Amino acid sequence: MNHNPKIIGASIPRLDGKDKVTGRALYTDDLKFPGMLYGALHRSRLPHARIKKVDTSAAKKIKGVKDVVTGADTPQIKYGNWRLVPGSQDELPLAVDKVRFIGDEIAAVCAVDRETAIKAAEAIEVEYEELPAIYSVEEATAEGAPLLHDESPGNVSLTREISYGDLEGLLAQADYVREDFFKVHAVSHAYLEPCSSIAVPEEGGRVTLYTSTQTPYIVQCLLASTLDIPENHVRVVKTQVGGGFGGKMEMRPWEFAAAFMALRTGRPVKFTLTRSDELAFGRRRHPMSIRSKVGFTKDGKLLAKDFEVMLDGGAYNAMGPTATFLCGTFGNMLYNFQAYRYRGRHVYTNKPPASAMRGFGAPQAAFAQESQMNMAAEELGIDPIDLRLINAMETGDVIPDVATISSCGFKESLEKVRQVSGWDAKRKEKKPGVGLGIGCFSFISGGVFNWFNTKYNFAAAEVTVYPDGTAQLNTMACDIGQGPDTVLRQILAAELGIGIEKIRLVSMDTALTPKADLGTWGSRVTLMNGNAIIDAAKKIKDMLKPVLFDHLDLNQIHEIAFEDDRVLVKANPKKSMSFGECVYHALRGRRGEPLTARGYYTPRDKGLVSPAFSFGAQVAEVAVDQDTGLVTVTNTYTAHDCGVAINKMAVEGQLEGAIQMGLGYTLSEAFVMEQGRTLNTSFLDYKMPAAEDMPPSTYVEVETYEPEGPFGAKEAGEGLAIPTAPAIADAVYQATGFRALELPITPEKVLKGIGRLK
């Protein structure tokens, strides 16, 4: 753990901060190109219908309209992120035969200005044959339910099963068995920047897309396949992105429409969504119906678990298959037990597709699992933290068929959160209307399972060093606000021993940065890109070291170090030269070839799920007004094992932001839907917490060293979004006696739960 504490673990302010506080940072909608046209979409007005006719004649007649396209004009190639299973690719950029949710994209227009484009999109007439629609997994899987996709009988697009150990036998011999049913709802990513994309046509039928995305490489590949042009004809450039949280990790119809019409018109085309588009039609977190059955010994040893989940996927697969897989994995995390059975089904309904959202199946699975642990603890007469300690995973534990846990600070997290929250004393003193509850989490640091079927390494970095002592880092890694533009430069600076300000970053341009990077999701960026950068930097250092041996005539046993912009002999630091000078000498012998190295990372021999796992525990304190049912979270305490935090301030930022999202998920955020139509399409009625709603948060680090992570780091972005719901639900139970098995915990549910409202 030989690293520079001035860089690794330091709270270095983000390097793009200054641009962002002065308004200079450019997001996609801030860009304009000469001759640029403005796009608009015509979306389905029905939840389920066959398209009989799309009449674009009136739209085409409007002055200023430059192009109008429907599905019929396009190559009609289906797409989806799960390229590994082509049958799962169920979406068309513009619908051809059928629409499956209110908002399904049918046609696109572009015009000289936004107003004309909107007018033209509204002038498109669609003749439908309305089909019966279904809005819940229960309806969708019922006998004789109408089918959304002919290829998916029973509306189940995918099933994942896991099974090991003697489930029935262990449940039969358990002293205590309970079975519970949980329901969780959809929420919006609610990133502040609505999606925006600009396609610029290039010579030779090529196109450059500036877009608000967290996965430029995925967009490049899927845009090329849906346009039916070579992958290398598409260049994706990510601008500043105003948040993603999983909502910007697929190719989107407007990206296709912008590129398709840019190629047809020879002019740049921009699409920018509105907030009401985002809330009415946008991706969201999967609602789930969960059944969980667990068996314990009387002294609290968890023996077996039977876990069944139905995911409400909406109209298309989107990232649903991954969520279906991961739910099974997360149902199996945190605790050791001998038998496990999981059955996850991804179900189609006539609603906007659900997809990846911060936690990727884990917030839902954990709400069930952690609530059930709290319920079991009460009936077993064991303190909930003690019950967890009895069963908690430790470093070296094996999750069958998944992974070996190479670092785990779960037990320490439990002990620390117990101490810092004053758990023991507060749980003993019972005050009506006040309560304290707990929820725990574990999360992946990037995925191993190659559903995108990339032929490239999962992460790549190109490092070039210059005789003036500076370096350039080229990476496709994606900063969407969480901070890798800073954190990855910290890693390179630490490895090369140069100042962070010496590093120029070129990122997120698929034409300029090495192949590939799968993007920002699954909390993969720090670990995977960090490792790729270290790999590249080590190669650079290997090219520089001989210079010192030559110039100082060193014995071959010496070790060379890179520190404080110098290259030096470890045993005798006075023997050194500046980093730039060293590069200068190294270049002299290379006959004009720059000093560049590429590094890569793909997890090897790390199981099927993830190379490393974070752990943690959170305690929430609430006050419940028993007359209004309003729940106020008065405090949160979190202990978190994210390995070595590369940037402490950035980790704290993830924690505090995750609590806001967790709070909204638990208490106030929900889509109000009627017959497939979303009724609350503004932030006035989609209620995410504001500054005044936020509780104080106390944060304790549990530092472990993750051997697979760069400088010992692992994920810090998503795991923290998981524990808040079960912790608050438990606290509400302690305060009122009402145990919420469904989210969100609205004032109305609380009042009903305590018998104050019929």
Site for another protein in 677-716 (CB under 8 A): 679-680, 682-685, 687-694, 697
**What does the chain come to in residues?**
758
194 contacts another protein (rule: CB under 8 A): yes
Q: C-beta of 684: minimal distance to another protein in Å?
A: 5
Question: Is residue 650 a contact residue for another protein (CB under 8 A)?
Answer: yes
Least distance CB 175 / another protein (angstroms): 41
Whole-number minimum distance, CB 262 to another protein, in Å? 20
CB 304, min distance to another protein, A: 38
Part of the chain binding another protein (CB under 8 A), chosen from 18-26, 84-92, 293-301, 399-407: 18-26
φ/ψ bin of 462: left (φ > 0), alpha (ψ from -120 to 50), beta (otherwise): beta
Residue 352 in contact with another protein, rule: CB under 8 A = no
Residue 293 Cβ vs another protein, minimum distance, rounded to whole Å: 33
Strands 673-674 and 459-465: unpaired
Residue selected from 326, 373, 465, 751 as contacting another protein according to rule CB under 8 A: 751
Instruction: Decide whether 15 or 94 has the Cβ nearer to another protein.
Output: 15
Cβ contact 268:33 at 8 Å:
yes
Does 243 bind another protein (CB under 8 A)? Our answer is yes
Exposed / middle / buried, residue 120 (Cβ in 10 Å: 0-12, 13-18, 19+): buried
Whole-angstrom Cα distance, residue 325 to residue 304? 19
From the CB of 22, what's the least distance to another protein, in Å?
A: 6
State the residue for tokens 């089918």: 147
Q: Where are the beta strands (DSSP E) in 556-668?
A: 560-563, 566-569, 572-578, 595-601, 613-624, 631-641
Kindly state whether residue 190 participates in binding another protein, applying the rule CB under 8 A: yes
Nearest distance, CB of residue 530 and another protein, angstroms? 19
- Taking CB under 8 A as the rule, does residue 634 contact another protein? no
Rg (CA), the chain: 27
Complete edge-to-edge strand list for the sheet that includes strand 434-444: 434-444, 613-624, 631-641, 697-701
Q: Looking at 25-33, 66-74, 146-154, 542-550, which segment touches another protein (CB under 8 A)?
A: 25-33
Question: Least separation, in Å, of the C-beta of 144 and another protein?
Answer: 31
Closer of 582 and 624 to another protein (Cβ): 624
- CB 649 → another protein: shortest distance, Å? 4
Q: Which is nearer to another protein, 1 or 690 (CB)?
A: 690
Please report how close the Cβ of residue 10 comes to another protein at its closest, in angstroms.
12
Determine the residue type at 87: G
Residue 231 binds to another protein (criterion: CB under 8 A): no
Residue 393: partners with Cβ closer than 8 Å, 6 or more residues away: 333, 334, 335, 336, 399, 405, 408, 410, 442, 615
Measured from the CB atom, is 454 or 668 closer to another protein? 668
Token digits of residue 714: 């692992």
Interface pick for another protein out of 29, 67, 90, 715 (rule CB under 8 A):
29
Q: Which is nearer to another protein, 271 or 600 (CB)?
A: 271
Cα separations in angstroms, 707 against 10, 333, 411, 639: 20, 20, 19, 21
> Which range of residues in 252-260, 325-333, 644-652, 733-741 is near another protein by CB under 8 A?
644-652
CB of 557 to another protein, least distance (A): 44
CB distance 223 to 234 below 8 Å: yes
Residue numbers 660-679 binding another protein by CB under 8 A: 660-661, 667-668, 672, 679
| Residue in 475, 485, 540 with CA at minimum distance from that of residue 514 | 475
Instruction: Select the residue interacting with another protein from 16, 401, 564, 703 (CB under 8 A).
Output: 16
* Per-residue contact string for residues 465-504; x = within reach of another protein by CB under 8 A: ---------------xxxx---------------------
Query: Is 189 one of the binding residues for another protein (CB under 8 A)?
Result: yes
The answer to the question of residue 13 lying near another protein (CB under 8 A) is yes
Rounded-to-integer distance, Cα 660 and Cα 691, Å: 9
Residue 337 near residue 303, CB atoms below 8 Å: yes
- Are 652 and 701 in contact by the 8 Å Cβ rule? The answer is no
Residue 606 C-beta: closest distance to another protein, Å: 29
Whose Cβ is closer to another protein: residue 240's or residue 734's?
Answer: 240
Q: Which of 96, 630, 741, 754 binds another protein (CB under 8 A)?
A: 630
Q: Looking at 627, 675, 707, 737, which residue binds another protein (CB under 8 A)?
A: 627
Continuous segment of H or E residues that includes residue 714: none
- Measure the N-to-C terminal CA separation of the chain; round to a whole number of Å: 60
Does position 658 bind another protein by CB under 8 A? yes
**Shortest approach of another protein to residue 254 CB, angstroms?**
14
Residue whose CB is less far from another protein, 83 or 270? 270
Rounded distance, CA 551 to CA 630, Å? Answer: 73
Of 402, 659, 713, 731, which one interacts with another protein (CB under 8 A)?
659
Please choose, from the candidates 318, 390, 297, 394, the residue with its C-alpha nearest in 3D space to the C-alpha of residue 704: 394
Binding residues for another protein, total number by CB under 8 A: 81
DSSP E strand stretches across 625-693: 631-641, 673-674, 677-678
Nearest-approach distance from CB 647 to another protein, in angstroms: 9
For residues 124 and 59, the answer to whether their CB atoms sit within 8 Å is yes
One-letter amino acid at 225 equals S
Residue with smaller CB distance to another protein, 352 or 481: 481
157/317 Cα distance (integer angstroms)? 7
14 belongs to the binding site for another protein (CB under 8 A) = yes
Contacts of 201 (CB under 8 A, 6+ apart): 207, 262, 263, 265, 266, 267, 268
CA 427 to chain centre: 34
> Binding residue for another protein (CB under 8 A) from 79, 128, 191, 637?
191
- Stretch of 41-49, 123-131, 188-196, 368-376 contacting another protein, by CB under 8 A: 188-196
DSSP 8-state code for residue 463: E
Helix axes 648-663, 724-736, angle to 10 degrees: 50
Give the nearer residue to another protein in terms of CB position, either 84 or 757: 757
Q: What six digits make up the tokens of 318?
A: 């989107």
Q: What residues between 90 and 149 interact with another protein by CB under 8 A?
A: 115, 118-119, 122
Among 5, 23, 144, 592, binds another protein (CB under 8 A): 23
CB-wise, 380 or 740, nearer to another protein?
740
CA dihedral 342, 347, 353, 358 (to 10 degrees): -10
Residues 264-323 that bind another protein (CB under 8 A): 274-277
Q: Name which position in 2, 5, 21, 143 contacts another protein (CB under 8 A).
A: 21
Assess 528 for contact with another protein (CB under 8 A).
Answer: no
Give whichever of 344 and 664 is closer to another protein, judged by the CB atom.
Answer: 664
Q: Quick one: which of 17, 86, 146, 169 contacts another protein (CB under 8 A)?
A: 17
Single residue of 82, 135, 245, 711 touching another protein by CB under 8 A: 245
* Cβ-based nearer residue to another protein, 334 or 642: 642
- With CA atoms as reference, report the closest residue to 697 among 626, 613, 639: 639
Classify residue 719 by its DSSP letter. G
One of 655, 713, 729, 740 touching another protein (CB under 8 A): 655
Which residue, 331 or 484, has its beta carbon nearer to another protein?
A: 484
d(CA 86, CA 94): 19
Check binding of 596 to another protein (CB under 8 A). Answer: no
For 215-283, give the DSSP string: -HHHHHHHHHHHHTS-GGGEEEEE-B----TTTT-S--HHHHHHHHHHHHHSS-EEEE--HHHHHHHS-
Distance CA 267, CA 18 (A): 33
